[in-house]
Structure 1
């Protein structure tokens, strides 16, 4: 008989956190530091200069930006200062293992590339007035659709605990939702209560409940304290999901997300977009 998997074997071993110049960065880094300490993980802070965008602009016909060397130096110096501040914060927080990276690409692209070598990426929700990649997608959306790692998105403000006592998992029997559950196991096994929530518009459907029970059994074998709850929303599922999570005072929402086939790298499905727009709690997304 195989021995049960020890809890520590499911811990995140490498966590990647975004470092930018927004006011939310200290709270984001503090959260990532607490999570890294709780999981015994190596923490990587990722800062970007954005130099690649200016290089692309200089290749456009008729664009004369002059000598950009001083600008590039200024951008790199600012990124290095952010990286040094990250080092100071995590050292003060007592993180045992950490490092920083500085990249010249745009944030979403740089994070998605570095995420190939991480178990989890920590970012903040994109502000409503913030420009997206090519004016289309925010950082969370781009990274979750273009990296192999799950993305933990923090709301504004970001006073979030590193341990999540109450967790809601949005379940629709999709491969994306199943991957989200697997990626969230290091957090789920530490929770005191996990609701596996089905939002089924067809009250007569039996299949969705059977699928949820099978997933609940899978989670229970990992030691997750899970309860299956079925809901029949009258309105948009994304709104119903958030209302339920807020009513249950969930500390974390876990869900899968998908991209539309033609624009997979830039456009999330409707429920995911609604959740990221109205997010009031951390959400772990997986694609």
Structure 2
């Protein structure tokens, strides 16, 4: 069960989608929420630390201003959380982006679930980098909410994107608290005959979930590699799915991130909340 949730509140982008989604989820699960926001300090500013007391004072002033920006964003979340009766704690940070990514990843490791906003490629912002870093560093599930998301979060109809991989299995297990509450579960496979070994086939997954008392049905589709992500989203729309569950492929080196093709495409063009695990 998700009882301890971390939510990243942007300071440089519209934040209401992630606030609304995180609060609705926490209310449904009676969970505590730790909200963290980062006021970013330009990396060039940090280089003055070796420049003596005067420049160190300038850096500290920049850090204080950054923390103020984080506090302003968190004040909006806190107001909404109190109105909803949600237990929450706010954590304002002022840091250069690389340090912020490390701190957020470490915080995520001691939470049952992290909630983040989908990156927006149309906006140049350090807030776009943090969700992917949390995914790679958390060691647990990350719920991405589309930046177009409106209304309370629900997960009545869930699609599991299944390719038999370790990451898909991890995401499926990490989504167990939501799957247990779902009204309908759809197992989605793409090119299963060519890509999935029999031992980890969709039918075996259905049997495994059935032993948990979960009823499922399977939709098997074919698609060229470049069309896998749009095929999944098209099915999600046709089925009226509230949530997708999938593995998050790639790896991170803080300054250098490599995303798998389908994962990257999903983060760039997400139309439905998606729970990913890496």
TM range (shorter): 0.7 to 0.9
The runs of 5 or more residues in structure 1 that have no matched partner are 1-10
Post-superposition offset of 1:195: 0.8
Counterpart of 1:118? 111
Post-superposition offset of 1:119: 0.8
TM-score, normalised with respect to structure 1: 0.83
Report the Cα distance in structure 1 between the residues aligned to 2:85 and 2:120, rounded to whole angstroms: 30
Report the Cα distance in structure 2 between the residues aligned to 1:87 and 1:157, rounded to whole angstroms: 22
Listed one character per residue, the Cα deviations across residues 199-227 of structure 1 (whole Å, up to 9, x for unaligned) are 01646x78358622222222223333311
Listed one character per residue, the Cα deviations across residues 32-90 of structure 1 (whole Å, up to 9, x for unaligned) are 111111112111110112248355343699xx898234332222222222223322210
Counterpart of 2:8? 18
Report the Cα distance in structure 1 between the residues aligned to 2:133 and 2:58, rounded to whole angstroms: 31
Alignment root-mean-square deviation, CA? 2.9
Counterpart of 1:91? 82
* 1:102-251 matched pairs, under 5 angstroms: 102-105=92-95, 106=97, 107-131=100-124, 138-200=129-191, 202=193, 207-208=197-198, 211-234=201-224, 236=226, 237-251=228-242
SS in 1 for 2:187: strand
Report the Cα distance in structure 2 between the residues aligned to 1:92 and 1:273, rounded to whole angstroms: 36
The runs of 5 or more residues in structure 2 that have no matched partner are none
- Distance change (3 Å), C-alpha of 1:56 and 1:224: farther
TM-score, normalised with respect to structure 2: 0.86
* 1:16-95 matched pairs, under 5 angstroms: 16-22=6-12, 24-51=14-41, 53=43, 55-58=45-48, 67-95=58-86
Q: 1:274 aligns with which of 265, 268, 272?
A: 265
Q: Tell me, yes or no, if the aligned pair for 1:141 and 1:267 is still in contact at 8 Å.
A: no
